[in-house]
Amino acid sequence: MSLHISPNFDERTFSISLVVLHYTGMKTGKAALSRLCDPKSRVSAHYCIEEDGTVHALVDESKRAWHAGVSYWDGITDVNSASIGIELVNKGHDGGYTPFPEKQMRSLTHLLQGIVLRHKIAPYNIIGHSDVAPLRKQDPGELFPWEAFAEQGLGLWHERVFTHIDEVQDFYALLAQYGYDVTDKAAAAIAFHRHFYIENLGEDPNAESVRRIASLVQQKLDLL
Ligand SMILES: [Zn+2]
């Protein structure tokens, strides 16, 4: 792990309960690192992982890094205070979005395993920037392998069992119960599909959307 110090942090007011994943959305890892460490940018993250798997530690985990902006998850509005932020080097939707390389994902796995142990992060609280800021953000995006991470206990995935909630009006109540801000229903549905049901990204929620969120809520309740 290489140490780059970012001056962009302050004190937490909550204990750590979330991990928020991002992509950098810049041309190179070098450009992203210099922005994350530039006092004028006023942005940072705890870690930044390059495509070759190199992990840079930028802000101490005990401090509040500035990565989430105006965000919401499960009642928390100061997401920065409650989270660890990890940036993945990727050009992003506006610059040539590409799949995340295996080496980068392997480094992320190791990093997340340590974070989960250190801070007892629940799997339903390993989320993307788009999950906490559905109106503004798309990262890390639909190419992120959420299902593969969930299989390793790093995140949740819907179970392939039948659940009998199938009325679409329950969909937003279930999204809210899982953690989403549903003030803007369309944006919340897009964020949910981007993470959990990319085949339906951009479409209206359907019975399978409801089945998936119902399964996630059930798993979350079982873990509480
Ligand atoms: Zn982000």
Specify the pLDDT at position 169: 59
Examine the domain organization and report whether 47 and 104 are in the same domain.
yes
Q: Is residue 79 part of a domain?
A: yes
pLDDT tens by residue, 109-167: 999 999 999 999 999 999 999 999 999 999 999 999 999 999 999 999 998 765 565 55
pLDDT at 1: 72
107 and 179 in a single domain? The answer is: no
Q: Which tops the pLDDT comparison, 181 or 161?
A: 181
User: Which of 62-66, 69-73, 211-215 has the least mean pLDDT?
Assistant: 211-215
Burial (CB < 10 A; 0-12, 13-18, 19+), residue 214, is buried
Residue 116 shares a structural domain with residue 187:
no
User: Whole-angstrom Cα distance, residue 36 to residue 48?
Assistant: 9
* Same-domain pairing of 6 and 109: yes
Q: Which domain holds residue 72?
A: 2-136
11 and 121 in a common domain: yes
Per-residue model confidence as pLDDT tens digits over 42-53: 999 999 999 999
Q: Is the pLDDT of residue 168 over 60?
A: no
For residue 166, the CA-to-ligand 1 centroid distance in Å is 33
> Does the residue 189 lie in any domain?
yes
> Looking at the domain assignment, is residue 152 inside a domain?
no
Please indicate, yes or no, if residue 143 is contained in any of the structural domains.
no
Residue 153 lies in a domain: no
Domain assignment present for 114: yes
Structural domains counted in the chain: 2
β 55-57/9-11 pair status: unpaired
CA distance 186 to 176: 13
Structure tokens at 33: 């690192």
Ligand 1 centroid to Cα of residue 23, in Å, is: 6
Query: In which residue are the tokens 């049901």 written?
Result: 197
Distance between CA 47 and CA 62 in Å, rounded? Answer: 13
The partner residues of 21 in beta bridges, in order of sequence, read: 86, 128
Mean pLDDT of the chain: 94
Cα of 167 vs centre of ligand 1, distance in Å, is 32
Q: Please give all residues whose CB falls under 5 A of ion ligand 1, grouped by chain where several chains appear.
A: 22, 129, 139
pLDDT band at 3 (very low <50, low <70, confident <90, very high): confident
What Å distances lie between residue 130 and 4, 57, 98, 109, 162, CA to CA?
Answer: 26, 23, 17, 20, 27
Q: What is the pTM of this model?
A: 0.95
Confidence of residue 2 (pLDDT cuts 50, 70, 90): confident
Does residue 11 lie in a domain region? Answer: yes
Clarify whether 199 is annotated catalytic.
no
CATH number, position 99: 3.40.80.10
Decide: 88 and 24 in contact? Cβ < 8 Å: yes
* Single-letter amino acid code for the residue at 76: I
Ligand 1 centroid – CA 139 distance (Å): 5
The torsion angle over the Cα atoms of residues 103, 108, 114 and 119, rounded to 10 degrees, is 180
Shared domain check, 38 and 129: yes
Which entry of 11, 87, 102, 159 is annotated as an active-site residue?
A: 87
> What kind and span of H or E run contains 55?
strand 55-57
Residues 176 and 124 in one domain: no
Could you tell me if residue 84 is inside a domain?
yes
